[in-house]
Structure 1
Amino acid sequence: MKENFIYFYQQIIFRLKKLLFFSFSFLLLNQIAFAQCAVSPTLTLDPIPDSTGYPAGTTVTFTLTVNGYLQLGSNWFHGVILNYSSGWDMNSLTPISLAASADGQGVWGYYDSCISVGSGIVYGKGFYYDSPNTIGSGTLDSIPGNNYGDFSVAGTNTWTFVWSINVDSTAAINTSLSGSVWVTGDGVTGTWPDASCSGDIYSFNSLVGNQPCSASFSMSGYTSVLNPVNFINTSSGNLSNVLWSFGDSTFSNSLNATHTYNNIGNYNLCHFISDTSGCADSVCVPVTVVNYISNYNYNSYPYYISGTVYFDSDSNGVQSSSESTLNNWPVTLMPGNIISYTNSAGEYYFNVPIGIYTVHTNAVNNYWHISSDSLSYNIDVDTNYVNPNNYSFGLNSDTTNYSLNISGYSEINLCWWPNFFIEYSNQGTVPVNGVVSFSIDTFIHINSLNPSPDSISGGTYFWNYSNLNPFNLNEIYIDFFPINNSYIGDTFFCQSSITALDNSGLQITSANDSASQEITCAWDPNSKDVFPVGDGVNHLTPMNHLLNYTLHFQNTGNDTALTVIVRDTLSSSLDLSSFRFISSSHPCFVHLLPNREVTFEFLNIMLPDSNVDLLGSVGWINFEIAPLNNLPDSTTVSNQAGIYFDANTVVMTNIVFNTFKSQVPENANLIYSSSEGIIVYPNPTIDKLTLSISNKKSLLTEIQIVDVVGRVEKLLDSFTKDTNAVIDVSDLSDGIYFLKIKMSSGEIVVRKFVKE
């Protein structure tokens, strides 16, 4: 549309914006034959402008009511004509509605809107919309020939026209806002409006004024004791002053504020503002502050919130007997932002005091969605609350995704029977079938395996698995014979792998894990390991490298431990969002707290003491976590855990640490596990060595074979993109050698082997 043109309106969208009230009058400029044309027409504007006028961008709604229009001769009532000055945004002119209480009788007639348009025969009830070059028409009841006019002496019934228009958002203050609204009749010839009952003309004037201020804000974070809450100012206006009153006799003049309430209770939070024009406003809201679980202890409180997370394979929102649970799935409790990871039975739990809580699941990845009724639960724990309960979540996926995980853990100790655990899991979205394999240095001899392997080939053991459901986990237990003391100080290597197969036996996906560990006799039963260990005394580790922690514990007391609790405070240089609990020797509940403490709770573990059952007295935990991005070079990340056997004094583990470096020396021996695992077999060997890399993203670039005095016996630097290599060592003399393996990532890994 263009300004200062005439427009017809019949229908429009209703929009309302409330401003301060100020009296405003209209001027009736041209009342022609008023008694014969219209009875009590009215025009209203909403909102009424304040003392300074309309702020730029304001939406103004016009309502025109016409009642009792009486036809005189060929003059029919047709509608309204609008004319606006340049301060209005004509592109925003929007029809909202036309309402008529009854249809009037009518005949065919000429509609002459203006000389530039011309004339023509049009059927229907007047003009629906008219631009300078087009006449539009429409009917109220779809009957051609009905116009707004009425032959009866009573005149027309009531018509209400509603439309809206915006003040130009770029208009300067004091820009004139004027316009006119005509109630139109019909002149048969000539320009229009003519002198014969052409209509009543309403004119209005205002100005573009200051934008009034309006106080508003948003909140983020839970209002709980000792939990910071962020208050974000969203007020309008050119603010000059801001005040926050938190209701606990504390205040802030910051534009945006962060506040921590120290006590539970009800508070009146107020936000006060004023702007440069003198406008002032405020808004107040009630705030209820509840308990915050700052020191999470098992059995500290009398109440429990618990439930199950399950694989809702049929998406009906109800767990059937055939539907499995999801293991290691995170569930969050608010307030407190405490995360509980489901155990092997898919169960989570929170031990809580009286308070109001919300429980929801966390997205492990984008493949899953909640299919049960509740996306979250709001739970009021009071004195009438009953344990136990089951706030469960069913999840399903519309996407087929294949992902596997496998991990191996050992306790190689010369002084008693060593053992090894393999845990493998389905991290995808559909059940899978496949094969698990395991191989280890030949100088370590296997006593038993549980379950028994389905086949053995060339020193590698194979287990078939079927229908492994998403986020389900299986275990393999391997028992070794005691190791000959001639191997003390050596490092043993082993590799585990898992493959998913389709119905034709073709590989769909796979995962690998390798482990390396020094063989010792002296061994602390309550200890911590980290992989990669890192190079040298400072444990130099490539920047941004994932850290894999294993914690070992053993009941060396004189009675069975009913409960074992492990507390591990994670370094501030680690990314909590990347924390992933992998597995444990016994079922446990895992809780991750905002204070960076992770707890592992083995409830009713019934762990025998080492005097009664040496092998049964031990346990372990495995998890991984990534460092923060952009850490300063040479940042040291340390880790130590405390182990609580029932009510006994805490047992602290050793401290492990890594120093993150942007560049690690080429001769570094990082002793990698998991993602960077490298295994060399058979070891000892007579003629050939096979080198296997579990991380498909890291490729071989060079291998040196070095003897015990540092002489390079062989240099191999021609490799394809394969991550396996077969090395001929038949020409080497019998003895101990080292493989110095250079990777495409620039990392150097050293492996020892024996030539016989």
Structure 2
Amino acid sequence: MEFVISKDQWVFENSTNLYNGAEPIYNPNLKYICCSDKNITAIKSKLNSLGIQNCEVNSYCTFTPGSIFYSLIGNNILDVDNNGCDSNDVKIPNVKFTITGGTESGTLIANSSGSYFFPFQTGTHTIQPSLENQTHFTVNPTSYILSPPFSQNQYIQDFCFTPKDVISNIDLSISPKSPPARPGFNAQYSIVITNTGNQIENGIINFEFEGTKMDFVSSDLAPTNQSDESLSWNYIDLLPYETRKFNVEFRINSPFDNPPINAGDELVFSCNTTNHDFTLKQIVVGSYDPNDKTCLQGNAITPEMVGDYVHYMIRFENTGNYAAENIVVKDVIDTSKFDVSSLQITDSSHEAWARIKGNVVEFIFEKIELPFNDEENDGYITFKIKTKPNLDLGAELKNEANIYFDYNLPVLTNEAKTVVAIPDLIHDETETAHFEVFPNPTANTVGYLSSDLVYKAEVFSIDGRLLQSSLFPGNEIEVKHLPDGSYVLKIYTRNKVQVGRFVIE
């Protein structure tokens, strides 16, 4: 037996059997156990005591409790005309709910449809909705209490959000699509605009790109204006909490163009509207892992950005031979660096909802049925989260995620690293030189000498693939995880990039 689906009645017996109250089941090759969240710790402990390795235990085979449960469903409605919520009004996507009491305390973020479905087991639960700028809205009712005795299995409650004053606020973001930017190839980007105020908005999106490094190819939405390094689009009647998005495509310079673009180079895109701006910094790659995590602000943020939102994108790809029914992206947030309560979903490739317990965030693509053919097997989630306001210069924001495809072991993404740095340390490189690394050959670390502060070190394969990047690494970096072979090391100081070669054996 490789898979076990539990509905709370499974217990271990002896050393290699799982018992369900009827007969023991021999299971030396267990790979996956699905059970209720409350049983995960006990089952993992038992597996460990039995010496059973590489068996994944989670609750992701279903997203409703295994035993008797009660549910609350409804819609999140925006009172656009300020006369009470009715059929003429619109739904609000990704509303956040705080759940207290009972067995399901935490935070739930509804999906992008504007509807919600929350299952609960025994106990009294208080469900309270909120928006990002909640102080500028009234909500009716302010909360809903689900408590025993339960006379029915399902309860219905809509929440009506009404603007109570005037606030104009637009969110903009730019997200790279798959595949990412590669020298000589086309790359696509999504521009996402969301009205997070409470007024109907009209305006212009101004988009700037590095025209010497790329050529504009196309846009889903025809630009209102266009130049060699900029594009603009009008938006009209953008409702509160309405999101619109469109794609733009560029051809990235090859290593033989002028200027040449190589793996490891950085591309910068920016967009702005009346009261918001956004900058995407993207590293060009030679090859890529389809399951990865990226900070869209790049490898560094300035001290002025501390306490504000940073944006992350987690991409996934079904590389199996059958459609993935459910996908969960699990992200453990460092609460010493981030304010978990500020997290907001900004975009997703498919309909998704999220739950947050403590510092664990789970983005759930339920019944996604993600195909396995190359044209349709990609997906992503993007979110924003505020950093803590007291981060010091040099503080690192480090994070990675696990991606669960149905009953398989999770796929671990890379670790996304962003450092708080002063602008002088992150401006464009102006000089390239060669230097020696030591010891060479090496097995564990490589060192180098520099009279200037090294703010970034990168290791490339001989064919130009970026393998690792370290911010403020000191005078050496660890390379023991890399296989034997020849490598290129680039170190970045204030106005110089130095290149060296080394061998691991």
- Please give the range of the TM-score, normalised by the shorter of the 2 chains: 0.5 to 0.7
Q: Does residue 1:323 correspond to 2:89, yes or no? A: yes
Structure 1 residues 635 and 438, CA gap change in structure 2 (3 angstroms): closer
Aligned counterparts, 1:48-197, within 5 A: none
Of 157, 169, 174, 1:391 maps to 157
The structure with more radius of gyration = 1
Aligned counterparts, 1:42-441, within 5 A: 299-301=63-65, 303-320=70-87, 322-335=88-101, 336-362=104-130, 364-365=132-133, 367-372=135-140, 374-380=141-147, 385-387=152-154, 389-411=155-177, 412-414=180-182, 417-441=186-210
Structure 1 residues 366 and 473, CA gap change in structure 2 (3 angstroms): closer
- 3-state DSSP class of the match of 1:558? coil
Of 455, 471, 494, 2:269 maps to 494
How far does residue 318 in structure 1 lie from its aligned partner after superposition?
3.0
**Deviation string, structure 1 residues 285-336 (Cα, Å, up to 9, x no partner):** xxxxxxxxxx87552415432322111134444332x312223321222224
Structure 1 residues 445 and 428, CA gap change in structure 2 (3 angstroms): same
TM-score by length of 1: 0.44
Q: Does residue 1:452 correspond to 2:230, yes or no? A: no
- 3-state DSSP class of the match of 1:445? strand
- Aligned residue identity for 1:391: Q
Query: Following the alignment from structure 2 to structure 1, what is the Cα–Cα distance between the partners of residues 290 and 238?
Result: 33
How far does residue 644 in structure 1 lie from its aligned partner after superposition?
1.2
**Deviation string, structure 1 residues 250-286 (Cα, Å, up to 9, x no partner):** xxxxxxxxxxxx9xxxxxxxxxxxxxxxxxxxxxxxx
Aligned residues: 367
How far does residue 659 in structure 1 lie from its aligned partner after superposition?
5.4
How far does residue 525 in structure 1 lie from its aligned partner after superposition?
0.8
- Aligned residue identity for 2:365: F
Structure 1 residues 531 and 418, CA gap change in structure 2 (3 angstroms): closer
Q: Does residue 1:587 correspond to 2:351, yes or no? A: yes
Structure 1 residues 749 and 341, CA gap change in structure 2 (3 angstroms): farther
How far does residue 466 in structure 1 lie from its aligned partner after superposition?
1.5
Q: Does residue 1:578 correspond to 2:345, yes or no? A: no
- Aligned residue identity for 1:476: F
How far does residue 356 in structure 1 lie from its aligned partner after superposition?
2.7
How far does residue 649 in structure 1 lie from its aligned partner after superposition?
1.8
Of 340, 364, 369, 1:601 maps to 364
The answer on whether the counterparts of 2:393 and 2:422 sit within 8 Å (CA) in structure 1 is no
How far does residue 467 in structure 1 lie from its aligned partner after superposition?
1.2
Q: Does residue 1:655 correspond to 2:420, yes or no? A: no
**Deviation string, structure 1 residues 676-715 (Cα, Å, up to 9, x no partner):** xxxxxxxxxxxxxxxxxxxxxxxxxxxx9945469xxxxx
Aligned to 1:469: 239
Structure 1 residues 620 and 310, CA gap change in structure 2 (3 angstroms): same
Aligned to 2:47: none
Aligned to 1:510: 275
Structure 2: segments with no counterpart, 5+ residues: 1-37, 39-57, 435-492, 498-505
How far does residue 432 in structure 1 lie from its aligned partner after superposition?
1.0
Query: Following the alignment from structure 1 to structure 2, what is the Cα–Cα distance between the partners of residues 560 and 314?
Result: 43
- Aligned residue identity for 2:72: I
Query: Following the alignment from structure 1 to structure 2, what is the Cα–Cα distance between the partners of residues 622 and 576?
Result: 15
Aligned to 1:668: 425
**Deviation string, structure 1 residues 199-220 (Cα, Å, up to 9, x no partner):** xxxxxxxxxxxxxxxxxxxxxx
- Aligned residue identity for 2:167: N
- 3-state DSSP class of the match of 2:124? strand
- Aligned residue identity for 1:421: S
Aligned to 2:293: 528
Q: Does residue 1:613 correspond to 2:383, yes or no? A: no
Aligned to 1:519: 284
The answer on whether the counterparts of 2:429 and 2:494 sit within 8 Å (CA) in structure 1 is no
- 3-state DSSP class of the match of 1:654? coil
**Deviation string, structure 1 residues 632-664 (Cα, Å, up to 9, x no partner):** 88655431111112222211111123456xxx5
Structure 1 residues 417 and 391, CA gap change in structure 2 (3 angstroms): farther
The answer on whether the counterparts of 1:582 and 1:622 sit within 8 Å (CA) in structure 2 is yes
Query: Following the alignment from structure 2 to structure 1, what is the Cα–Cα distance between the partners of residues 126 and 170?
Result: 32
Query: Following the alignment from structure 1 to structure 2, what is the Cα–Cα distance between the partners of residues 706 and 469?
Result: 46
The answer on whether the counterparts of 2:303 and 2:393 sit within 8 Å (CA) in structure 1 is no
- Aligned residue identity for 2:77: Y
How far does residue 361 in structure 1 lie from its aligned partner after superposition?
1.4
How far does residue 519 in structure 1 lie from its aligned partner after superposition?
1.1
Query: Following the alignment from structure 2 to structure 1, what is the Cα–Cα distance between the partners of residues 304 and 355?
Result: 29
Q: After the TM superposition, which parts of structure 1 deviate over 6 Å for at least 4 consecutive aligned residues?
A: 539-543, 748-752
Query: Following the alignment from structure 1 to structure 2, what is the Cα–Cα distance between the partners of residues 634 and 461?
Result: 35
How far does residue 420 in structure 1 lie from its aligned partner after superposition?
0.8
Query: Following the alignment from structure 1 to structure 2, what is the Cα–Cα distance between the partners of residues 342 and 466?
Result: 26
**Deviation string, structure 1 residues 508-530 (Cα, Å, up to 9, x no partner):** x3322121212112111111112
| Greater Cα offset, 422-431 or 622-631 | 622-631
How far does residue 435 in structure 1 lie from its aligned partner after superposition?
2.0
Q: Does residue 1:641 correspond to 2:401, yes or no? A: yes
Query: Following the alignment from structure 1 to structure 2, what is the Cα–Cα distance between the partners of residues 631 and 440?
Result: 30
Query: Following the alignment from structure 2 to structure 1, what is the Cα–Cα distance between the partners of residues 228 and 253?
Result: 21
Structure 1: segments with no counterpart, 5+ residues: 1-261, 263-294, 499-508, 672-703, 711-747
Query: Following the alignment from structure 2 to structure 1, what is the Cα–Cα distance between the partners of residues 204 and 167?
Result: 18
Structure 1 residues 371 and 549, CA gap change in structure 2 (3 angstroms): closer
Query: Following the alignment from structure 1 to structure 2, what is the Cα–Cα distance between the partners of residues 631 and 706?
Result: 30
Query: Following the alignment from structure 1 to structure 2, what is the Cα–Cα distance between the partners of residues 705 and 668?
Result: 10
- Aligned residue identity for 1:572: T
TM-score by length of 2: 0.64
